[in-house]
Amino acid sequence: MTTRQDTSAPGAAAPRSGPEAVPALVDRLKALADGSETVSFAELNRTIGAQGHAPLLMVVSIFMVLPIGMIPGIGGALGAIVALIGVQMLLGREGIGLPDLFGRRTLSAERLRRVAVRIRPIADWLRKRLRPRWSALAEGRVSLCIMAVLLIVAGGSLLVLGAIPVTTPLLGLPVAVFALGVLGRDGMVVAAGYVLLALVILGATWMKASSG
């Protein structure tokens, strides 16, 4: 009989992917914030990015959706990280090399800790509902390459549009769904990410046409 790994225990190895990886990721985020005053993007990259693209993309997308992403200068930095993750996914490489320009940017550790505490119940809820399925979308090379190109375009656009407050969370939502699907190995969630991104693009196109 198999036993469930306790990822909350000190020193326990956190799963890289699968439903259990979602709450484990939130716990790592909180542990990173505990005992610090600030957390730099470089530290996030070293700690979270070491587990693969999906965990780092999940954390970055959470920042994009929450008010953190609307802090001046943060939206563009988050977009740059998303684009870099997309490039590495497209090349089939692990980890990203974060330029000092973005790596030096910091977040309040207390703000980060509060975010982790707030989303922990959501992570537990998601763990019970995610399951490995539709693997071609969640893990297939073709789907990951398409997703990588979309991440490069979305992230790169924030370097220009990040100063517009609503842009970062608007793009962050489909990115978060993509990240959740890949992290949880749930292709149905990835499919929802494609649908959501299409709706965001259609909505933005309609608003632009209406204002013109």
- What is the C-alpha R_g of the chain? 17
At 5-39, the pLDDT tens digits run 334 433 445 566 688 888 888 898 888 888 788 88
Does the residue 54 lie in any domain? yes
pLDDT at 165 > cutoff 70:
no
Does the residue 47 lie in any domain? yes
Does the residue 147 lie in any domain? yes
Model confidence at 162, in pLDDT bands (50, 70, 90)?
low
* Domain total of the chain: 1
pTM of the predicted protein model: 0.79
Across the range 80-94, mean pLDDT stands at 85
Written as one letter, the residue type at 28 is R
Which pLDDT does position 125 carry in this prediction? 93
Which of 28-42, 66-80, 87-101, 160-174 shows the highest mean pLDDT?
28-42
% the chain with pLDDT above 70: 83
| 50 secondary structure, DSSP code | G
Q: Which residues pair with 108 in a beta bridge?
A: 38
Does the residue 202 lie in any domain? yes
Does the residue 72 lie in any domain? yes
Does the residue 31 lie in any domain? yes
Alpha-carbon gap, residue 169 to 158, rounded angstroms: 10
Residue in the block written with tokens 């990835």: 190
Does the residue 3 lie in any domain? no
| 128-130-131 Cα angle (round to 5) | 110
Does the residue 207 lie in any domain? yes
Q: Is 36 helix (H, G, I), strand (E, B) or coil?
A: coil
Q: Are 12 and 5 in contact (CB under 8 A)?
A: yes
Q: Which residue range forms the structural domain that includes residue 172?
A: 21-211
For the CA atoms of 5, 42, 190, 176, the dihedral, rounded to the nearest 10 degrees, stands at 100
Alpha-carbon gap, residue 158 to 77, rounded angstroms: 8
